[in-house]
A and B are shown apart, each in its own frame.
Chain A
């Protein structure tokens, strides 16, 4: 029978964290430098090709989340790459720490350290680029194409304040932790090509969700009504405007909590179980 100390000991977990850091910190620093380089290259490209100096809020928002999803999911998949071969897998599983401690160590680096590191690097590149973009705009003022309105200086996309893109930021952030949790699971579940297989599995899950949403829910709706991701719309050419039925606020919040909290938690628990069952 497992005792509590068999399942989790903070001391052992901390030993694991320090061991993981000592073995990988060079790789992580290079990784962050590579992210910084890619962001710099992307923003420079935008500055060069866009006549409107479009390092605007949307550009920053999309760059932040594109990078977060791509790199974060890849990193989550990589954290269990030791399990891809027996020669490194035995070393990983043989270390005297519990499966939970090993998972929590991966989550500490994959979720917390990565999120903080990535966000830090993003703003280290984004802030100076934005200043440069606004300086150029100040020196050489421009108008929106075909109008006499001036393009105003762009403002910084702040992930943590109530500015623009608030609902999108919340949705994308909560979606990120769920998507990343799928890649953690894929890293343990699949044997080789874990990232690619996880991408395919995620796309399949999305496809199933879309099919259920588009086909199944529409099937139960009355004639003339259709579903747009839990928003039911009745469009009648003779009747303006369209009629909408939204989910009750509480139910909407529950779905939001499920996606942002329950889904990653459930996926992490499944990953933990898979790790226990992993054979190399």
Chain B
């Protein structure tokens, strides 16, 4: 679905990507993690065709995104972190926007809106930011676009909304679709994403499916100083230490994405060695 090779991009003299490579297939919900300013949103905008690579190539669903052909735009939807909906009613919005998306499913949209508990309002702009975001996410999902790009989708959602978001996304994914979610809120999406991408200093420094992470790494809580010494990453608190260890004995544990992220950004080489 997405094939990026040797992507170089910079804002003026400030480089963002220097030789980034990425391949993403269908049937996956991929989490894109990274520090502020590392280029998560920039990567999504490059994939969506809103920014153009200065070097290298991007192919999304067989299209060159920068050409922004209608057939491409119908199949790749970006839900940006900040957006602006028109000052019209939801009914009018649907009437005039859905004809552009031939696979739009109105029944599914109504169900998502109901699940998200978005109230009927005379105008979309009269909804709160969170409610507008829910409406936009519902719209994006109902287009049945094979590729959805979401930039901080849980920002602005209330607690119930976040849990609803997870349920709806989990229900919407199938073998023909892929969802790439950029986020800071790893905890919000921990049970949702099945592949982790970590971006740092202009490159993808970690790219692994969650199943493989659980297979190769052991996440555990320990009071044992010896284990602490052997750990790949350790977070100590007054209650003990949270550790990431090599999973040599094939034990089962639930990956803590926040810890994994910190471990990778602290020492990507050691962590990646375990996945070779």
Chain A interface residues (CB < 8 Å from chain B): 2, 5-6, 9, 12, 15, 18-19, 22-23, 82, 85-91, 93-99, 276-277, 279-280
Contacts and interface: CB of A to CB of B under 8 A. Distances in A.
Given A95-B73, A96-B74, 14 more contacts: A12-B100, A15-B100, A19-B96, A22-B92, A23-B86, A82-B84, A88-B84, A90-B83, A91-B83, A91-B84, A94-B78, A97-B100, A279-B50, A279-B52
A2 B86 contact: no
Given A12-B100, A22-B95, A87-B83, A99 B68 contact: yes
A81 to B, nearest CB: 11
Contact of B82 (A5, A87, A94, A276): A87
B35 interface: no
B70 A97 contact: yes
Contacts of B92: 22
Given A19-B97, A87-B80, A87-B82, A93 B87 contact: no
Contacts of A86: 50, 80, 82
Query: Interface extent on B, as a size class?
Result: 20 to 34
A236 to B, nearest CB: 59
B83 to A, nearest CB: 5
A96 B73 contact: yes
Nearest to B51: A279
19 contacts: A6-B71, A19-B96, A22-B88, A23-B96, A87-B80, A87-B82, A87-B84, A90-B45, A90-B48, A90-B50, A90-B80, A91-B85, A93-B68, A94-B48, A94-B50, A95-B73, A98-B70, A279-B51, A280-B45
Contacts of A2: 67, 69
B236 to A, nearest CB: 41
A78 to B, nearest CB: 15
Contact of A96 (B84, B95, B101): B101
Interface of B: 45, 48-52, 67-71, 73-74, 77-78, 80, 82-88, 92, 95-97, 99-101
Cβ-closest 3 pairs across A and B = A96-B73, A19-B96, A96-B74
Contacts of A89: 50
Contacts of B74: 96
Contacts of B85: 91
Given A18-B96, A93-B68, A94-B78, A280 B50 contact: yes
A234 B83 CA distance: 63
Nearest to B82: A87
A23 B123 CA distance: 11
Nearest to B92: A22
Nearest to B50: A280
Contacts of B80: 86-87, 90
B69 A6 contact: yes
B84 A98 contact: no
Contacts of A98: 68-70
Given A22-B92, A87-B83, A280-B50, A94 B73 contact: yes
Nearest to A21: B96
B274 to A, nearest CB: 38
Contact of B100 (A88, A93, A96, A279): A96
B261 to A, nearest CB: 26
Among A2, A23, A90, A98, the most chain B Cβ lie within 10 Å of the Cβ of A90
Nearest to A26: B87
A186 B95 CA distance: 32
A23 B83 contact: no
Nearest to A11: B99
A65 to B, nearest CB: 33
Given A87-B80, A279-B52, A23 B99 contact: no
B29 to A, nearest CB: 21
Contacts of B82: 86-87
A19 B52 CA distance: 28
Contacts of A99: 68
A103 B193 CA distance: 39
Among A9, A94, A97, A98, the most chain B Cβ lie within 10 Å of the Cβ of A94
A186 to B, nearest CB: 21
Contacts of B95: 22
B69 A90 contact: no
Contacts of B50: 86, 89-90, 93-94, 279-280
A15 B99 contact: yes
B70 to A, nearest CB: 4
A280 B48 CA distance: 11
Contacts of A279: 50-52
Contacts of B97: 19, 95
Contacts of A22: 88, 92, 95-96
A87 B74 CA distance: 19
B78 A90 contact: yes
Given A18-B96, A23-B87, A23-B88, A12 B70 contact: yes
